[in-house]
Every structure is written in structure tokens, then in C-alpha cells.
Chains A and B, each alone.
Chain A
């Protein structure tokens, strides 16, 4: 572990205290519904943290849904067809997503696909994964989705099938891993290198930063977290669906959560997940059957308002004056500030 990440006992104390408190939540025996919402928040926060890990360095991916899907379907197919426990399947799913991310990332970074182009390439990749899941309907169940086989009660633990409390702890550990990855990255040289690359790739390369390698590193980390979130979400819901685990819709939702919370702060995506899931649940209660439409409508309006008035998200309100590396708003390429 990079010693700079936790230099003093004080740095360690707060995260450990928070985690310990959160770990105690199931002991208060909260209602099932609340537990469900909280677990969903943690897993959504994990996906958002993964996205923001690269998003904050202007590597904006519109295809992160794909990595959720790769993680979840690898795990689900291994369990359903080969009886391989999700305890092994989840890490394998994460590994598969990392490989996929590197296969996509390497040529992207080598050929200097950046900005709009990077966003569109990742969008295409996300759609490819969604369509493949649908096209392989004989294996994956296609658009109808897929249900992991229920294990017998004796094997429930081996099959990672728990009640809400058990899953809360798993989700908590996964979420903490995501924040730990963020923190370690932040305190490493790679974070400075990435900030430099985001400002000016050529300049960064000229001072000896290995651009492709550094970008691939953060891509792998980001894909791993997204896949972990996807696999655990599938396992928790015991239902896998191409629309909710791959494609443009879910990818944009991940982006929205991270942006609303604030993608430049470690807790930003978590705040974003609290907002989006909280919003979703309250709209579900307020609108009942009209819910799907109303939620999208409110999301969309908020996303526009955030972009115009609060591009650094909620967490942006809380932070100290930002460091020069990530804080300055770069002028848009090729635009003149008119109107």
C-alpha cells in the first residue's frame, strides 16, 4: 500500500470508524425495504466511483454499462451452466471486464482517440455488448433476462445467495474497495500524470509520462469496479437483464449519478447514488405506475440543470478551492464564448 495514502493514524481513523458504523446497520434490524434501498445505493455508488475514476481525467466513457454487463453475465453464465460459485465467478467477471477494457482501451489510447471520439467509441462498444447479450438469446435469455439458479438452503453461502443483511456486508466491502482504489490512485504519481495528460497529452508525453500505460492503468481499475458493481447487482437481484446491465441507457445513468454527486471528489459518486436512488424511490412512491416516465423526466431536467449551474456536482459545493490540475475549466475546443 502506498504509504502516502494513509500517512497518519488520523487519516485511517475516520474511514474505519465510518465503515464500522455502516457495518452495524443490519444489527438495528431496519425494514427490508430500507435495506434494499441502501444496498442499491452502495452498488450504484461503486459503479459511479468506477466511472468517475477515469471520467474526471476527461476519459468520458458512454459505455460503462458494458462492463457491468460483462461482469454480471460472466458470473451468471458460469453459475448456471457450469455450477461455478459466484465467489469465483465475480472475480472472473471482473477479470473478463478488465481484459475487455484493455482490449478496447489499448487501440483507443494508441491511436489517440480522445474527447467526443472516445465517448462515441465507448458508446459503440457498450451497444455491442448489449446487442451480443440479446443476440445470444439461447444462452443468455436475450431481452427477457436471466435468473441465476436458486441454490439449496444448505449451499446458499457457497452460492453467495444471502438475505439482505449478508448482502449489505458484501456490498459494503465492495464499495469500500472502490473508495480505497480512488484514494490509492489519488496519492500515487499516476494521478498527477493523468491530470497532466488530461491537460495536454503531448506535453505530458514530452516530460516522460507514459501516456498509454497510465491511461490503461486507470481504465483497468475503472472497468474492474464497474464489473464488480454489475456482478454484485445481478447476484443481489438474482436477475440479469441486458437493458439494465449494458447499453446506452444504463451507461448514461451511471454518468448522471457521478456528475450529480460530483466526479472530482471521492465521495461525489456516492452522494450521486444517494440522490439518484433516493429520487428514484420517492418518485416510485409518488407516481406509482407512471413511475418510469416521471423518473426519466426529472433525471433529465436535473442533469441539464447540473450541467449548466453546478458542473462539479453537489460535492463541488463542499470542497475547498480546487487544485489547478482538475479544477480549472478548460475553454471548449474551437468555440468562442458568444451568447
Chain B
């Protein structure tokens, strides 16, 4: 096989790993709270700035900066839920989406005011690794592994803890669960924190690969929503698989054409999926 095509395929899988975390986070929020956080990519952006600031400006060790990033963005998720989502829980869905769209503007604006529109780079690069006949960026590989670990931790949390079980139950039937003694308010709050923490983890993985700027969220935000819907809203495994599918489309499309056009292909694919399988690609 053409080594360059092989490299494109491999990069597609690695890209899919990066898409996977925000997709899982969005899915968790949607499945449990039934609200789309339009500003999800902007939460990731805030996390990226936090790591960049702590590491390059405050001179903290990188892993300490990562360790702060997670709870920080989780806290943001809680605030978002308390201040914006909770007052709108019984409002029409579109009002909820628009309100979180307002938060998108708030976060972009705040980032512009504090950090200006300059592109900030962390300046960390791991040596490329040789796998067979192709070279893979070490940073991308490390991020990929971390994404898989994050997804596994989320899975274990949902599967083996009491709260995780309650979360899955409320996603399945939000009317009966309160009668079973589960307080939905508490579950919503926990899900929002978990969704935030996933955004924080995604931020740690992205900040080593991408320059941070206030509008960085727009470069991967739309596609994560699409992946999330393609996998089936609320369907974790479907979203996870769809992330890799989209990663491959973007990467292989970039190999045959240009990166710009590969996104056009990916978005067209999404629109077609919406026409023919709106319940999600991987939903039975």
C-alpha cells in the first residue's frame, strides 16, 4: 500500500481519537440533560488557554497545568448548568440551544479581551515515531492514547459506579427515575461536571497539537456536533465510532484533495446521514 495513504489512514484514526472526547462529552450532556451545549468547543478553548497560561506564563510543570485544567473546566460546566441551562430546562429546545450559543459569544469575547486574538503555541513537541514504513507524530499518538484512556474511564464510571448507573438510567427514562428516588437535579449537575471534565481533557490533548486563539473552537466545534448527531444523540458507542469515521474522511479526503475540501466532503456526508439515518449511523 502507498505509504502516504497509509499515513493518511493512520492520521485519520489519530484525529478520530481527538474528536472522540468532545463527542463523548456532548453526548453525555445531551443524553442526560437533553440540552445541546453549543459552546462546548469554547469550553475546550478555555481549557487550552488555562494550560497555555500556566505552562508558558506562570512556569508551572506541564502535568500540573493539565491537572488543574480538568477540574477548572468541570467547574465551568457546573456554572454553565446552574446559570444558563437550569433556568431553561422547561423552555423549548431551541431557546436552550440559543442560550448556550450566547455563552459561546461570551467565552470568545472574554478570551479576546484577556488574551487578544494572537495565536498562542505551547511549543511542546515529542519526536516522531516510526511505525513500519510510516512516521507518526509522537504528540498525536500520545494524545490518542490519552483519549482512549479517558473514554475507558468514562465507560467504567458509567458502568460500575452507582452514580454512573443513575446517569444511564435517567438518560433512558427521565420521567420514571425521579420516582425511584434519584434526584435529577443532582444527576444533571454531575453529568455537567463530567461533561466539563471531558472538555478539559480534550483541551489538554488539543493544546499540544493546535495553536490556541479565541476562535479555535469554531475549527472543531461544528464537526464535533455533527459527529455526535451522526453516532446517534445519547448513543456513546455510536458517537465514539463516528468520531473515527469522520477522522478518516477528513484525513483521507485531505490526502486525495485539499484539507478544506475534505471538510466539505465530511459535512456533506453528515447532511446525507441526516436525510437517511437521522436516528444515527450506529443505532439499531
Q: What are the residues of chain B within 8 A of A293 when measuring CB–CB? A: 108-114, 214
* Bound form: Cα–Cα A292–B115 in Å: 12
A58 within 8 A of partner (CB): yes
What size tier do the contact residues of chain B reach?
A: 35 or more
User: How far apart are A195's CB and chain B's nearest CB, in angstroms?
Assistant: 15
User: How far apart are A142's CB and chain B's nearest CB, in angstroms?
Assistant: 9
Cβ A297 vs Cβ B110 within 8 A: yes
Cβ B109 vs Cβ A300 within 8 A: yes
Cβ B229 vs Cβ A308 within 8 A: no
Looking across the interface, which residue of chain A has its beta carbon closest to that of B223?
A127
Cβ B106 vs Cβ A135 within 8 A: no
Cβ B36 vs Cβ A116 within 8 A: yes
Cβ A111 vs Cβ B275 within 8 A: yes
Cβ B103 vs Cβ A131 within 8 A: no
* Bound form: Cα–Cα A330–B225 in Å: 25
* Bound form: Cα–Cα A339–B225 in Å: 26
Tell me the interface secondary structure of chain A in the complex: helix
Cβ A117 vs Cβ B229 within 8 A: yes
* Bound form: Cα–Cα A81–B107 in Å: 40
Cβ A332 vs Cβ B278 within 8 A: no
Q: What are the residues of chain B within 8 A of A336 when measuring CB–CB? A: 174-175, 178, 184
* Bound form: Cα–Cα A201–B157 in Å: 40
Also in contact, A299 and B105, with CB within 8 A (given A292-B117, A293-B214): yes
A298 within 8 A of partner (CB): yes
Tell me the interface secondary structure of chain B in the complex: helix
User: How far apart are B153's CB and chain A's nearest CB, in angstroms?
Assistant: 28
Q: What are the residues of chain A within 8 A of B271 when measuring CB–CB? A: 104, 121, 124-125
Residues A109-146 near B (CB distance < 8 A): 111-113, 115-117, 119-121, 123-125, 127-128, 131-132, 134-135
Also in contact, A307 and B102, with CB within 8 A (given A120-B274, A335-B34, A339-B86): yes
What size tier do the contact residues of chain A reach?
A: 35 or more
A181 within 8 A of partner (CB): no
Mask of A283-321 contacts with B, CB within 8 angstroms, 1/0? 000000010111111111111101110010000000000
Cβ B278 vs Cβ A117 within 8 A: yes
A226 within 8 A of partner (CB): no
Cβ B267 vs Cβ A127 within 8 A: yes
A163 within 8 A of partner (CB): no
B90 within 8 A of partner (CB): yes
Q: Per a CB cutoff under 8 Å, which of A116, A290, A304 touches B84?
A: A304
A333 within 8 A of partner (CB): yes
* Bound form: Cα–Cα A178–B260 in Å: 34
Cβ B109 vs Cβ A294 within 8 A: yes
B165 within 8 A of partner (CB): no
B263 within 8 A of partner (CB): yes
Cβ B102 vs Cβ A335 within 8 A: no
Cβ B185 vs Cβ A123 within 8 A: no
* Bound form: Cα–Cα A252–B107 in Å: 14
* Bound form: Cα–Cα A24–B108 in Å: 40
Looking across the interface, which residue of chain A has its beta carbon closest to that of B114?
A293
Could you list 15 examples of A-B contacts with CB < 8 Å? A124-B270, A125-B267, A128-B267, A134-B260, A249-B215, A256-B98, A297-B110, A300-B103, A301-B102, A307-B88, A307-B95, A332-B92, A334-B174, A336-B174, A339-B89
